[in-house]
């Protein structure tokens, strides 16, 4: 995995990308070094079907691409090879009125494999297929490991063993795991592909939303899936053990297609056991040494699992002052810090923490969100200001030791959802830490709260976890319902405020 990745971007290919595209393609196919696309080929592709040509960039460098045509279904059904399907490499087979999105190339640079970037390209192709109301995605995939087994088995037997996971093929195994199914084997598909013995596997992904009476499709995502992690406090030997446990949960919630993973406040506290011989103030400052490495690793997780991660919170030293902060690690590889504004008396007395001075909404690929840490949600002014900035979802990582503390967080979060006409997701820690001073007991019930109107649950609770049990909570929230509420709700708290009599405003920005 590449160290210090700052940004991952998926976008349409531009002709200015060609030099980098060529270099990455050559390095991706060393066995076919002369088979890269020429600049005139790319120019032709972009002229006939620009939206079908995709690239992945890491820190501004092209490291992967997916190129496509739209072709007639009858052409796909015929026996064909690569030269024929591409119109003798002229792309004359492209027909914008046809039914099939045909993939003519996809690759990821060897140095950037293992980050699931290929999956992003496939997911983007699927979205394009749905948006264009095409019937299916079809392409012929190479089987590069077949060369090692060609003397012992037929391509059909090889494919079956890959399908049942008795054998592994770097291309076919990946494609099967992305919901493509085998149509047939093609002989003599790509001239010069010695690794595959010039065999290829014709694969298909069906668009279940295909409608042969085309209609406009809403391209904007409105159903957002939240993955809340109710974290069990347990002894951890080192920070790698923390990463292992955190990655497990990130893998779980991303496996269910979650757009966000939310961790609790101070969930890294088990690492403080090594410093229990120190005073509480000294111990938490030692814990703060882990915060930057944790942020960097969670950025890698966000890229690898294609999910936005809200890292709960952790102690952070800056200018000699100790803050309670967290990081929004976006799936594009970037990250932003948020800080707890209101510090509890306990945090001041035992740890000497200070409150931050900046808060804002965050732009994500799922719209504007807000993040407030625990005690902050008990101050309604903060979330009202975030709602004024367009916040749709408020995330609240929290840590409470007793049911009294949890009750405050829960009911204040429910109030914030109602008064700001937004969703509020809260996630906390459970269990005990007998060897960590000032962090010995926890109580939590992670939940997602909604406004209170006919389109939402009557009690304003979309979903809630089992109290004091380690688990995840996967919840879908519909942003369209919020739009409807803002305009046509039984009451409209955001619109009906008497701004002629009172206002709330930030004193700094």
The whole-number average pLDDT for the span 205-221 is: 69
Residue 3 confidence (pLDDT) = 57
pLDDT 10s digits, 236-259? 889 999 999 999 999 999 999 999
pLDDT > 60? residue 216:
no
Residue 396 φ then ψ, to 5°: -130, 95
What H or E segment, with its residue span, contains residue 462?
strand 461-464
pLDDT band of 1, cuts 50, 70, 90: very low
pLDDT > 70? residue 19: yes
Pairwise CA distance, residues 16 & 23, whole Å:
13
Contact between residue 298 and residue 246 where contact means Cβ atoms under 8 Å apart? yes
Say if CB 133 and CB 168 are below 8 A apart. Answer: no
Instruction: Please give the pLDDT value at position 2.
Output: 52
Confidence of residue 456 (pLDDT cuts 50, 70, 90): very high
- Specify whether the CB–CB gap between 376 and 358 falls below 8 A: no
87 Ramachandran zone, left/alpha/beta (phi>0; psi -120 to 50): left
> First and final CA of the chain: distance in angstroms?
37
pLDDT the model gives residue 509: 58
CA 491 – CA 282 distance, rounded (Å): 50
> Distance (Å, rounded) from C-alpha 155 to C-alpha 187?
9
Residue-level pLDDT at 220: 56
- DSSP E strand boundaries for 333-378: 335-339, 362-364, 367-371
- Continuous segment of H or E residues that includes residue 415: helix 403-419
The count of C-alpha atoms lying within 13 angstroms of the C-alpha of 382, restricted to the half-sphere facing its C-beta, is 26
Q: What is the pLDDT of residue 357?
A: 92
Tell me the pLDDT tens digit for each residue of 22-66: 999 999 887 666 778 899 999 999 999 999 999 999 999 999 999
pLDDT tens-digit profile of 358-396?
Answer: 999 999 999 999 999 999 999 999 999 999 999 999 999
**pLDDT reading at 109 higher than 80:** yes
- pLDDT at residue 472, rounded to an integer: 97
Kindly write down the DSSP assignment for every residue of 177-229, as one continuous string: HTT-EEEEEESS-STT-TTTTT-EEEEEEE-TT--SS------S--EEEEEEE
What is 137-165 written as a DSSP string? Answer: EEEEEE-GGGGGTTTTS-HHHHHHHHHTT
Share of the chain above pLDDT 90, in %: 80
Least confident of 18-22, 161-165, 175-179, 305-309: 175-179
pLDDT of residue 219: 47
Q: What is the DSSP letter of 410?
A: H
Instruction: Measure the CA–CA gap between 376 and 54, rounded to whole angstroms.
Output: 42
Which one has a higher pLDDT value, 297 or 33? Answer: 297
Structure token pair of residue 404 = 């009294």
Q: 201, 186 in Cβ contact below 8 A?
A: yes
Q: Is 96 exposed, middle or buried (0-12, 13-18, 19+ CB in 10 A)?
A: exposed
**Averaged pLDDT of the chain:** 92
**Annotated active-site positions, please?**
265, 340, 374
DSSP string, 230-271: EEEE---SSHHHHHHHHHHHHHHHHHTT-SEEEPPTTTTGGG
Q: How many residues does the chain have?
A: 509
State how far the Cα of 102 lies from the Cα of 70, in Å rounded to an integer: 6
Distance, CA of 96 to CA of 283 (rounded, Å) = 64
Percent of the chain whose pLDDT exceeds 70: 97
pLDDT bucket at 214, cuts 50 / 70 / 90: low
């Amino acid at each position: 995995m590449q160290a210090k990745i700052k940004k991952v971007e998926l976008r349409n290919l531009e002709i200015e990308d060609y030099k980098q595209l060529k270099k990455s393609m050559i390095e991706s196919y060393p066995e076919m070094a002369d088979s890269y696309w020429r600049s005139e080929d790319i120019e032709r592709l972009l002229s006939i079907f620009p939206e079908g040509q995709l690239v992945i960039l890491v820190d501004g460098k092209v490291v992967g691409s997916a190129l496509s045509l739209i072709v007639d279904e009858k052409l796909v059904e015929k026996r064909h090879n690569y030269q024929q399907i591409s119109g003798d490499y002229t792309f004359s087979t492209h027909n914008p009125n046809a039914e099939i999105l045909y993939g003519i190339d996809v690759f990821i640079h060897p140095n950037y494999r293992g980050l699931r970037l290929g999956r992003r390209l496939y997911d983007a192709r699927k979205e394009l297929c749905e948006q264009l109301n095409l019937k299916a995605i079809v392409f012929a995939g190479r089987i590069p490991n077949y060369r090692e087994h060609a003397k012992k088995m037929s391509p059909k037997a090889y494919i079956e063993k890959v399908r049942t996971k008795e054998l592994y093929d770097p291309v076919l195994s990946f494609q099967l795991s992305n919901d493509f199914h085998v149509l047939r084997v093609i002989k003599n598909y790509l001239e010069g592909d010695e690794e595959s013995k010039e065999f290829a596997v014709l694969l298909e992904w069906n668009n279940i939303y295909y409608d042969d009476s085309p209609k406009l499709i809403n391209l904007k995502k409105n159903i957002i899936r939240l993955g809340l992690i109710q974290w069990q406090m347990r002894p951890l030997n080192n920070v790698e053990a923390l990463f292992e446990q955190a990655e497990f949960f990130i893998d779980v919630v991303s496996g269910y297609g979650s757009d966000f993973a939310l961790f609790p406040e101070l969930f890294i506290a088990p690492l403080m056991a090594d410093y229990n011989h120190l005073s509480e103030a000294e111990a938490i400052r030692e814990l703060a040494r882990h915060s930057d490495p944790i942020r960097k690793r969670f950025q890698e997780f966000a890229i690898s699992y294609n999910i936005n991660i809200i890292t709960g919170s952790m102690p952070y030293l800056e200018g000699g002052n100790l803050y309670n902060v967290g990081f929004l690690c976006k799936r594009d590889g970037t990250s932003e810090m948020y800080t707890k504004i209101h510090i509890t008396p306990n945090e001041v007395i035992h740890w000497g923490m200070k409150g931050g001075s900046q808060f804002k909404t965050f732009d994500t690929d799922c719209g504007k969100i807000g993040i407030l840490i625990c005690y902050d949600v008990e101050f309604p002014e903060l979330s009202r200001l975030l709602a004024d900035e367009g916040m749709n979802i408020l995330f609240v990582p929290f840590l409470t030791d007793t049911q009294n503390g949890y009750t405050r967080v829960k009911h204040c979060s429910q109030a914030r959802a109602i008064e700001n006409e937004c969703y509020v997701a809260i996630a906390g820690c459970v269990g005990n830490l007998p060897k960590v001073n000032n962090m010995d007991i926890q109580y939590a019930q992670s939940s997602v709260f909604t406004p209170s109107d006919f389109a939402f649950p009557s009690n304003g609770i979309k979903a809630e976890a089992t109290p004091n049990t380690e688990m995840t909570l996967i919840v879908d929230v519909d942003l369209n319902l919020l739009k409807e509420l803002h305009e046509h709700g039984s009451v409209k708290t955001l619109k009906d405020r008497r701004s002629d009599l009172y206002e709330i405003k930030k004193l700094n920005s």
